Amino acid sequence: MRVIVGLGNPGLKYQFSRHNIGFRVLDELVANNIGIESKWKNKFFSQVLQYQFEKQKMLFVKPQTYMNLSGRAVKQIINYYGISEEQILVVYDDIHLSLGNLRVRLRGSSGGHRGIESIIQSLGTEEFPRLRIGIKNDSLLQNMDHPSFVLSNFLPEEEQNLPKIISRAVQALEDILNNGFEYAMREYNRTEKNNSDESEK
């Protein structure tokens, strides 16, 4: 089984916030492969949806614990299905990457991301794959602290570009599932090589 976890905060208040791009990418992946009317179930402190992708059994997960307790949901799923940390793939926003840039990683620190911090603490390891999606806006970050920034909505001009960004992130997930992590890392980690990516420290 492969488990794909999109991180975000539940509720209409946060629906279009920067922190919720993980939810939006997962919704798009499901809409493309299963259909927009798919029936999510409430389980494991999450909304979950099972699906057979090609020959792989998939579980799509949107934790409903709020971001800072995401690990609670992920830990329950791993324990219930008896799977390893390497079988999960976490999709989330990255404040250190420019808007739209992607990074595929097999492991790593939280980079200050509270949802990833929670998962690392709950699982007791950093050894789980992730897809990071850049949300950085340097102009706004000059006048906002990080918590306020990630909970803010995208600007109208940013929102116009999001369908393309989300579509590319979905393609990255499909490439991971179809072609493996090494292929996806070659394809999606090439841009903005000179970016100061603090979250890899």
Active site residues per annotation: 19
List, in order, residues 6 or more apart from 49 with CB less than 8 Å away.
30, 34, 38, 39, 40, 41, 59, 60
22 and 46 Cβ atoms separated by less than 8 Å: no
The Cα–Cα gap between 172 and 103 comes to: 9
Q: Compute φ and ψ for 35, nearest 5 degrees.
A: 130, 150
113 and 199 Cβ atoms separated by less than 8 Å: yes
